[in-house]
Structure 1
């Protein structure tokens, strides 16, 4: 027994340079059990080894960060303890819509809002800004409406100098007054969002919510794509990101037909130029904002002829706007859309300089065309994977993600609202956070679920998905990753990280001054 104790003690020392699997095997081979003290040492070492693999574990916090972290973890532990004792009260265990009001009471959520979160790398252009911005757009003159609310067929909208040609088109300003402005505005808010007080019964299947989700884009398009609204909506979306302490954006867009009252239809190149102009204008008035880039992301429902047009547009935009157009993706429900393999012959013709950022594996299926999009995304050299929800079912692909440093774009709230996961504690990103995978947290389409541009997703990642032991280092690493895995070139990235670090450390001092010292 004495020999066993000596060898066990030596093995515990060797743990620092070995791994637990080897250690346990060696102890088992001794045909004896350690003492309770030795067992506790072994247990502690296992926990330490696991903790050292966490995303952000390598970061060293300074004095200010340590003070903020202590306060942060006090809040996190309190919410976890309350949830552990009564899971019905635990925000990440329930549907996001059911718990929206609870965020007002969460001091932890309000603290996360104050953190500089780097960038959003996965968001869709017409669903970033809140529905309030759409309501504001309906006050623009020359907007017409056909059809009524709360009927089987949703109303249609169009900006026009004259009645669009049919008797049942009416000016929105008249309809608003007939209903009263507050009633009309609330109907617009309901029309352009997935929110419902009873989400479980309203959306019984994934297809139910996706049908509504994709339908919203179609009804919304004629309002958003009116050229003055297009500019205003994008600029105001940047402001909402900025107010949520997000200082960089990579947006995906289909480049729909933008129009004006003269009947002009703007070309994809002109639409991209609008984005550039509004971004530069925003940067001039918001010095902390780091900029934006665009990922051209047309529909995955295109036929071969349409898709060839998309790739030609992608090449042209890539040549004409190399500093702004970051790359190419496809959007739309993967389960019902064409699989990525069907586009591969045409995709292989794109220049090597064209980066891919493919949606892939946004599904619960295993071994079907949807999750096998992950295979083609990786073989095509994608720089990031949008969602990647199904990748845990593909250990070889999961290994490739780590080996090739392919970033996974995690969108927690989107994944729950669109019915991939009911309880955030069961989200596959828990593995990514626990084993230091290349990962970022983004928000996808926050407008449609009344979420903040990023803070709600950060909260769910931090409280619902990550370990109770994950601390400020996780949130800091996620922010750093959003810049490291961005489409910025090296010089842009270095400058962005330097400026973000200044914002981060300023925020630490402000939080200590405003919150920590008064708590």
Structure 2
């Protein structure tokens, strides 16, 4: 038995040990950061204390769509918005601008629209005539002839966002959210495939991310085939060269921006066994032609309905000249082929793991991730919108942070749900998916991790990775 004084001493020792273990627990703050931290924590405690006493007002137990506008008024949010965030390492190229940006594209000249049998867009110097399809017309004329232009634009805008007033009704399960995301990408791809529009989109997106205090990006992309007004088309390599051209122009305009690298990402569809060889050849070709901006290779798609990595592991084992950045564990299930992708991502030497939502249910794999120092790309808001988690206090990021695991924050498809490039995810992580006591040190550690686990790091020059020792 010990007296209460000794008991408190032991308790303090335990709490200090736990704090030291957590991400950012041993991060050193300079004098200016200490001042910022004091202000930041004062506002954080005010917000969380109120939510503790009024649980129904805890935003992060509700859907992101219900609080995303309100949170912009938070003093904590404003501080986070202004702070440097390092890099965005898990984002998809066609979902980085919001619906208002996309609506502006629909006001450009030479854009045609076809509403039958489904909505399509095409830039051309004359009305497209596909398969005797005569339903194409200038979108400017269609807008002019609409009985209500405001309603015409409002209906069109809905195609460029997943945001709805009642998300629980619109998206009752993961099936509906992923179907909506798939339809979203179909719409966006048509608008952005016109080369001049695509190149302006890339430049504007770099500017948007830089304004959110992001200095570097790694973008998942299938490198869509671009076309000209006269119908001339360009292949994947030309699209990659367009990206490099725009990046160089942007860096000339903004020398403080570190850059962008591409992760060639293709679908884990049921035909992957047949398609994988061509995907790998394409990745190697991109690496050969634009090595300055090539980072590696990924396979993407809805985890629960895609072909598991184990089905193509034999082929992937033969690929020793590409860095892997596999999506894995983006599922709520355990003991299935879906979360089984985590085993294969690790065994195949993935440099980082995209999402890793289900990793918390695999203690041995968590140990391997730490031992191999594999970065975990966490996308909080994406996991909420795509029906994996409702209350952020239940997101596994809480445990990953508490255990000091190698996590980085990113935003996945922020344009699809009208989020900021990275500030929204940082804010949700700071107030909703970490300890009440997590401070500026954690935010600083997240920023540092985003650079440490990026393709800028010398870590990727070692060639280490494949298979357990």
So what's the TM-score if we normalise by structure 1?
0.85
Q: What stretches of structure 1 move > 6 A for 4+ residues in a row?
A: none
C-alpha distance in structure 2 between counterparts of 1:133 and 1:67, whole Å: 37
- 1:261 paired with 2:225, answer no
CA-CA distance at 1:88 after TM superposition: 1.8
SS in 1 for 2:24: coil
User: 1:223 aligned to 184, 188, 191, which one?
Assistant: 191
Structure 2: how far apart are the matches of 1:154 and 1:37?
Answer: 73
Instruction: Note if 1:248 corresponds to 2:216.
Output: yes
Q: Which of the residues 123, 148, 171 maps onto 1:159?
A: 123
1:216-270 Cα distance to aligned partner (Å, 9 max, x none) = 1112211111111110111111111111111110000012221112222211111
Q: Which moved more, 1:129-138 or 1:263-272?
A: 129-138
Counterpart in 2 of 1:422? Answer: 390
Report if the CA contact (8 A) 2:244-2:290 is conserved. Answer: no
- The superposition leaves residues 261-309 of structure 1 with CA deviations (integer Å, 9 ceiling, x where unpaired) of 2222211111111111111111111122110100000111144332221
Q: Match for residue 59 of structure 1?
A: 27
Say which of 167, 175, 192 aligns to 1:199. 167
> 1:471 — aligned with what?
439
In structure 2, what is the equivalent of residue 288 of structure 1?
256
* Alignment correspondent of 1:20: none
- Name the count of aligned residue pairs: 456
Identify which of 152, 173, 176 aligns with 2:140: 173
Distance 1:346 1:265, change over 3 A: farther
Say whether the 8 Å CA contact 1:443–1:453 is kept in structure 2: yes
Cα offsets for 1:439-477 (capped at 9, x unmatched): 100000000111000000000111100101110011111
Conserved in 1, the CA contact under 8 Å of 2:193 and 2:225? yes
Which SS does the other structure have where 1:252 is aligned? strand
How far off its partner does 1:54 sit?
1.2
Q: Is the 8 A contact 2:299 2:327 kept in 1?
A: yes
Moved more, 182-191 or 416-425: 182-191
SS in 1 for 2:393: helix
- Distance (Å, rounded) in 2 between the aligned partners of 1:168 and 1:262: 19
Following superposition, the deviation at residue 404 of structure 1 comes to: 0.2
Q: CA separation in 1, counterparts of 2:16 and 2:260?
A: 39
Deviation at 1:182, TM superposition (A): 4.1
Of residues 282, 293, 304, the one that matches 1:335 is 304
Alpha-carbon spacing, 1:55–1:489, altered in 2? closer, same or farther (3 Å):
closer
Q: Which moves more between the two structures, 303-312 or 106-115?
A: 303-312
Any gaps of 5 or more consecutive residues in structure 1? Answer: 1-32, 494-519
Q: For residues 213 and 424 of structure 1, do their structure 2 counterparts lie closer, same or farther at Cα, with a shift above 3 Å needed?
A: same
The gaps in structure 2 that reach 5 residues or longer are 462-469
Note the 1:70-149 alignment, pairs <5 A: 70-147=38-115
C-alpha contact (below 8 Å) 1:240/1:453 kept by paired residues: yes
User: Within 2, Cα distance between the matches of 1:161 and 1:390?
Assistant: 49
Q: 1:309 aligns with which of 252, 255, 278?
A: 278
**RMSD (Å) for aligned C-alpha atoms:** 1.6
Contact 1:122-1:409 within 8 A present in 2 as well: yes
> Offset at 1:183?
3.6
Partner of 1:236: 204
How far apart are residue 317 of structure 1 and its match? 1.4
2:329 is aligned to 361
Equivalent residue number for residue 431 of structure 1? 399
Q: What's the secondary structure of 2:367's corresponding residue?
A: helix
2 CA distance for matches of 1:208 and 1:255? Answer: 26
Deviation at 1:168, TM superposition (A): 1.8
Cα distance change of structure 1 residues 134 and 159 upon mapping to structure 2, 3 Å threshold: same
> What SS does structure 1 have at the residue aligned with 2:267?
coil
Separation of aligned partners in 2, 1:176 and 1:86: 47
Tell me which of 293, 296, 318 is aligned to 2:287. 318
Offset, 1:187: 2.6
